[in-house]
Amino acid sequence: MERLFTSKSIQPITLIGPESTGKTTLCEILAPRYNTVYVPEYLREYSQKKWDEEQKPCSWEDMPLVLKGQLKGEEKYNSLANKFIFLDTNPLTLYIYSHIYFQKAPEEIIQACLNRPSNEYYLLTDVDVPWEFDVLRDRPNDREYIFDLMQQELLRRKLPFSIISGTIPERINKIDELLAKF
């Protein structure tokens, strides 16, 4: 698969964070606000379909398929982006969750993490918003732990990021300030 977001004119902004921390909500607000698009989280789509059809969560064997769907979404929306493209997760999230659920990550996900655009910027969403139930969310008490894992992984990989906290309007204001620097 070709490397995406290589154009200097497109800035990928990836939202990463534990479940129920506002990533999708922020993407849905930010994309039209910046006259661009966002790449939906394929893990959610895949997991919901599997749950609806089989009442089973994702398995180890599903993870490469989820990665493939996520990268296909990135490829699809790449050509529609205007200055920014917002990503409601990326392979790094799959890597972290693979380690949480399976204590390892598939080689395809490891390689996809290494093949990210050099200008990708991360917004790490804080756990200071209420957890909301849905059938796919299963770790309401682990959000701080997962937040810490994600922050440690971003630091370990020396990836640029900002922590996004507060109410949705406060988060949007902080993101506006950050994006004004690009």
Provide the domain limits for residue 41: 11-179
Is 53 part of any domain?
A: yes
Q: What's the rounded Cα separation, in Å, for the pair 173 and 48?
A: 32
Spatial CB neighbours of 88, under 8 Å, sequence gap ≥ 6: 15, 23, 24, 27, 38, 39, 40, 41
- Output the pTM of the full model: 0.92
CATH number of the domain to which 18 belongs: 3.40.50.300
Residue 8's pLDDT is what? 56
Is 4 part of any domain?
A: no
Is 5 part of any domain?
A: no
- Confidence bin at 28 (pLDDT 50/70/90): very high
Q: What pLDDT digit, counting tens, does each position of 118-157 carry? A: 999 999 999 999 887 776 667 777 899 999 999 999 999 9
> Considering its fold, how many domains does the chain have in total?
1
If you average pLDDT over residues 104-122, what whole number do you get? 96
CA distances 51 to 26, 46, 66, Å, are 25, 9, 14
Is 42 part of any domain?
A: yes
